[in-house]
Amino acid sequence: MSFRISILGPVVLALTSCTTPVYRPVSGATHAKNVILFIGDGMGVSTVTAARIFDGQSQGMSGEEHWLAFERFPNVALVKTYNTNQQVPDSAGAATAMVTGQKTRAGVISVAPQVKRQACTDALANPLATIGEIAEERGKAVGFVTTARVTHATPAAIYAHSPERDWESDGQMPHADWERGCRDIAYQLVNFAGGRSLDIAMGGARSAFFGSDHGGTRSDPGDNLVGQWLSGGRQRRYVTSADQLTSLQSGDQVLGLFSDSHMTFIADRQENSTEPSLSQMTATAIDLLAGDNNGYFLMVEGGRIDHGHHDGKPGYALLEAQEFNHAIETALEKIDLKNTLVLVTADHSHVFTISGYPTRGNPILGLVIGNDKNGEPNQNPTIAADGLPYTTLGYSNGPGALTELPRPTPVTGIHAVAQSLVAVVDIEADGTISNDETHGGEDVALYGTGAGSENVRGVLEQNVIFDIMMQAYGWGE
């Protein structure tokens, strides 16, 4: 493996892998016609473990013995997630590594590592080709579905190039940078590949595509990017509800915007919700893309796993992870692994812990109840040194931080904010201050099955995921 050295500041040197593939295809292996990349945003190893138990307990098991669908994949690796300028990554830099084959800075989307955040001119001069662009150029259909905004960092890395992940609408970027030639992420989605368009793009972010006349955030009140996109082809379909998915046909190009911002947390969704589930979007995307004789690239993001953790709500994160697993099960029922590579991974982890000594089958969202001296379950919760019980799941920082003593009695259940140690301060792009929980820096897992998955092994740099997909298609060097 060869490396290049990137100078990222007066004292910081970072090694970033070139796009030379690390592994060669196994002799006689069949190339993949299709690739599906599942990204559980923020789904670190502790989240996978907790989701396994949560899903098992929801089916009446004790939970620990359960398996999530992707945990039965034959090939597994660990992935190093750091950005070129951060030990603990953000989603923009992590997604860029996976879809371009190069690690880059935190906060930038599919531009080279020398591009500083918000440096428009440098970004224009240093774009990185993405797996979405390469697949489109080689005749494959390209799409993604997400429970986050379609303009959010992870899906944006497939189709956009930006020095700032927060430039989702032109109302969120400096006008001077627009004059320099930079474009917001929603604009780039509509104009992907010179206007030829993504075949499937479904998730949230309706407001980024319209001006205020239509309830959006674009700087021109009359802006209507959806209308512009629809005018670009006869088989383009704009959908805003789950019911409309059933009317779509093979050959349609689909833009689905089901909410103004991120899609609603499963924990908060009402029975009369018009939003589709991630499983429904995944099934629709595969059914439509499978009609392309040249094959396809599809990215599926469980985007709100991450947001549940940031809010310090394990129950929210685990419900989203459970649905992410359902989406994978749905996909596996629809595809042929002889010609399709399926990868499941996370962009980063979270500071999410599973602790104490709870007895076997103890409710994963509950208080720790341990075993007695004979190894049998106690009747009451385990008591900490301060005289209070504690939960199995918690965080090292976040909104549930203990800012005063005595510690309050922890609450439990789906909607509970878990207790944490440190109240970190995060200044948002709009200047607001939050105590959101942070990402974690440990390795995440990569699970692989299907054509080309034999290269999922060992400990990998995150950008090697791109190499694995390229080699599966037969495009590696």
Which residues are the active-site residues?
A: 91
Angstrom CA distances, 221 to 255, 258, 281, stand at 21, 21, 30
Angle at 109 between CA 448 and CA 9, to 5 degrees: 110
Angstrom CA distances, 435 to 132, 164, 284, 400, 424, stand at 35, 22, 37, 9, 5
- Strand residues in 88-188 grouped as ranges (E): 141-149
User: What is the chain's alpha carbon radius of gyration, rounded to the nearest angstrom?
Assistant: 22
DSSP 103: -
Calpha distance 4→351 (Å, rounded):
31
Treating both helix axes as pointing N-terminal to C-terminal, what angle do 278-289 and 314-334 enclose, rounded to 10 degrees?
30
Tokens 């004059």: give the residue. 179
Written as one string, the DSSP assignment of 184-244 is -HHHHHHTGGGGT--SEEEEE-GGGGBBGGGT--BSSTT-BHHHHHHTT-TTEEEE-SGGG
- Which residue, among 257, 296, 85, has the nearest Cα to 168 in the 3D structure? 257
Tokens read off for 352: 């999410």
DSSP 144: E
Residue 345 backbone dihedrals phi, psi, to 5 degrees:
-155, -175
211 DSSP β-pair partners: 218
Phi/psi-derived region of residue 251, left when phi > 0, alpha when psi is between -120 and 50, beta in every other case: left
Judge whether 153 and 83 are in contact, CB under 8 Å.
Answer: no
Residue 188 backbone dihedrals phi, psi, to 5 degrees:
-70, -30
Q: 3-state secondary structure string, 324-391?
A: HHHHHHHHHHHCCCCCEEEEEECCCEECEEECCCCCCCCCCCCECCCECCCCCECCCCCECCCCCECE
Beta carbons within 10 angstroms of residue 427's beta carbon: 9
Written as one string, the DSSP assignment of 274-299 is -PPPHHHHHHHHHHHHTT-TT-EEEE
Calpha distance 199→15 (Å, rounded):
35
